Amino acid sequence: MTLASTAPLKIIAAIIYETFRMYAPISIALPRMVHRDGATVEDTCMPQDTKIGISQFATYRSMRSFTNSEECAPARLLNDTTYTRQALNPSTILIGHAQLHRPKLGLG
């Protein structure tokens, strides 16, 4: 068995992506710069060019982003009807004007 031979097994990719969602491979805040018009975050005005950090853990565990966010559920990536009300496409996370993409693993 090779990595390429497992590509048709979409459950393998779903398990890997869901594991990365629950246990991010890095534990740092993702740096972002406030755009030129400024921004409001949690009722706090942020001037332009302010550096902020987005916590992967908080983003990926938020009930606003994922249904049953505390559960390891690879089915959310396999079009399971339980997860059709996902707030976000599971392949991307939107944070302000930034769009974060999940990595491509070449697994289907």
What's the mean per-residue pLDDT of the chain? 74
> Does residue 102 surpass a pLDDT of 70?
no
- 67-81: pLDDT as tens digits: 888 999 988 888 777
The residue extents of the domains of the chain are 4-101
Is the pLDDT assigned to residue 105 strictly greater than 60?
no
- Structure confidence by residue, pLDDT tens digits, 21-69: 888 877 777 788 888 888 887 788 889 888 888 788 888 888 877 888 8
Q: Which residues contact 97 (CB under 8 A, 6 or more apart)?
A: 35
User: Is a pLDDT exceeding 50 seen at residue 6?
Assistant: yes
Beta carbons within 8 Å of 106's beta carbon, 6+ residues apart: 3, 7
Which DSSP string corresponds to 10-37? HHHHHHHHHHHHHS-S--SEEEEE--TT
